[in-house]
Chain A
């Protein structure tokens, strides 16, 4: 079955540590996205990529980094510069003009 796989489901980060969230899709979609979801705030766009080796900042990119070396993969790194990283992170993909297909999310908690 085609879909998007996010891992891990739960992640704990210590202060000052970088962590990487994985996102893999087998839908052959060109575009991929990372969103952050906080209670009562809806989805906020962190980064997006329209094609391989290209990506753009979203509305809240500070403290995050991404890469897009393969069409199937769009990992997100939460760096130590992100001061409030505790949130639910969602990865999505789409074809041009289509709706998004979302993964099941990663819940990141700072300990």
Chain B
């Protein structure tokens, strides 16, 4: 079983809908949680960075962490066709720099 699980999708939504993405993990030592967006044939770019449990909002993006359930989520409000990409979750323990990535969820926002 992988340490971080993520549904590969594809997740198809109409423009303007809310996109809901999530990851589950098994290592209770993970303390820092990230979401990356990756366009086709490009490197991932960091979207959200959160520590421990709670919510964080940045524009149309909201990240949630529920450490008791070992579950993290990313919500994209008012989705646009330009949000069509693969979204990767990543996490790490308190000490060290190594990230563990989920497999990514492909999202398609249709005009």
| Interface-located stretch among B13-21, B37-45, B57-65 | B37-45
A85 to chain B, nearest CB (A): 18
Give the docked Cα–Cα distance between A19 and B103 (Å): 27
Give the docked Cα–Cα distance between A45 and B103 (Å): 13
Question: Per DSSP, are chain A's interface residues mostly helix, strand or loop, or mixed?
Answer: strand
The answer to whether A102 and B44 have CB atoms under 8 Å apart is yes
A40 to chain B, nearest CB (A): 6
B63 to chain A, nearest CB (A): 12
The answer to whether A42 and B104 have CB atoms under 8 Å apart is yes
Contact A107 to B41, CB < 8 A, known contacts A43-B88, A43-B101, A45-B98: yes
- When distances are taken between beta carbons in the complex, the residues of chain B under 8 Å from A96 are 97
The answer to whether A99 and B88 have CB atoms under 8 Å apart is no
B19 to chain A, nearest CB (A): 19
Contact of A105 among B6, B42, B97, B99 (CB under 8 A): B42
A57 to chain B, nearest CB (A): 12
Interface residues contributed by chain A, number (CB under 8 Å): 25
B12 to chain A, nearest CB (A): 18
- When distances are taken between beta carbons in the complex, the residues of chain B under 8 Å from A92 are 43
Contact A100 to B103, CB < 8 A, known contacts A31-B97, A43-B88: no
- When distances are taken between beta carbons in the complex, the residues of chain B under 8 Å from A94 are 97
Q: Does A86 contact B (CB under 8 A)?
A: no
Contact A90 to B44, CB < 8 A, known contacts A41-B103, A42-B88, A42-B103: yes
- When distances are taken between beta carbons in the complex, the residues of chain B under 8 Å from A100 are 36, 44, 46, 90, 99
Given A4-B43, A6-B43, A42-B88, output 5 extra A-B contacts at Cβ < 8 Å: A40-B103, A42-B6, A92-B43, A99-B34, A100-B36
Using CB atoms and an 8 Å cutoff, list the residues of chain B in contact with chain A: 6, 8, 32, 34, 36, 41-46, 49, 88, 90, 97-99, 101-104
